[in-house]
Amino acid sequence: MSAAESVRRPDSDSSRTGPHILMEGKMAQTPLVAIIIASDSDLPVMEQAAEILEKLDICYELILTSAHRSPQRTREYIKEAEAKGVEVLIAGAGGAAHLPGVIAAETILPVVGVPIETTALQGMDSLLSIVQMPGGVPVATMAIGKAGAKNAGILAAQILARKYPKIAEQLVSYKRNLEKEVREKAKGLDGKGFKNRSREPGFKPPSTGSKTDPRR
Ligand code: RP5
């Protein structure tokens, strides 16, 4: 399959809004990424991964299965994903958060883990559970919550970009836009009358860690 064929949205029906949710992976095109969520309560966070993949025009599917509640379904799906040609797996889970690690134990596909915020421990439980994998079974662990889910989508795209030039182009353009947005915001600040000391003649920035710094 050519890159152009494989880099497509899962569904071109513009009447649908939000990420496309295909619980059993029934799609006409091959998904390159699978987003696996452990509970429907994870969706408000994990849809950030779906949104960025859509923005980058990368075909994905979203699957609901739990490491603890449906271990058999989880194993079966991993085999199915490998067979259908999925190349990167993104898994989000909260609390004991075993899903990304269990997936990584079953496949050699790269696994990106997203710790979901929890009420009891604010997602620190999820983060530590996902990041502390034993040697030999890596999970690329993102930040807790929505930023982590978004970055999971971008990291998946970056992995795919090594093979698909079209995805590399999309990422370059995405990065350019990030830079443009910062420049525009900086320009916006210029007009607000704040004093910009760094532009004054003779301005020296404060020391950042020389030997004479009393904090050292
Ligand atoms: C985990 O337990 C899920 O990832 C979710 O973040 C958390 C709570 O799940 P629900 O009880 O809301 O289904 O497996």
pLDDT at 209: 64
Is 194 domain-assigned? no
CATH number of the domain residue 97 falls in: 3.40.50.1970
Is 146 domain-assigned? yes
Is 184 domain-assigned? no
Number of domains in the chain: 1
> What Cα–Cα distance (Å) separates residue 73 from each residue in 42, 50, 61, 63, 160?
18, 22, 16, 10, 26
CB 35 within 8 A of CB 92: yes
Question: Ligand 1 mean position to 42 CA, how many Å?
Answer: 7
User: Which of 41, 63, 127, 146 best tests ligand 1's pocket when mutated (most atoms within 8 Å of CB)?
Assistant: 41
What values do phi and psi take at 59, rounded to 5? -75, 125
What are the tens digits of pLDDT across the range 82-125? Answer: 999 999 999 999 999 999 999 999 999 999 999 999 999 999 99
- Pocket (CB within 6 angstroms of ligand 1): 38-39, 41-42, 66, 93-95, 116
Q: In terms of residue numbers, what domain contains 42?
A: 3-169
Is 189 domain-assigned? no
Is 207 domain-assigned? no
What are the tens digits of pLDDT across the range 114-173? Answer: 999 999 999 999 999 999 999 999 999 999 999 999 999 999 999 999 999 999 999 999
Model pTM greater than 0.85? Answer: no
pLDDT at 23: 40
As beta bridge partners, residue 62 has 35
Is 192 domain-assigned? no
The strands making up 60-64's β-sheet, listed across from edge to edge, are 60-64, 33-37, 88-94, 111-116, 140-141
What percentage of the chain has pLDDT greater than the value 70? 81
The residue among 56, 60, 55, 1 whose CA lies nearest residue 25 is: 60
Is 190 domain-assigned? no
pLDDT averaged over every residue in the chain: 86
CB 114 within 8 A of CB 92: yes
Is 186 domain-assigned? no
The residue among 27, 29, 156 whose CA lies nearest residue 91 is: 156
pLDDT at 195: 72
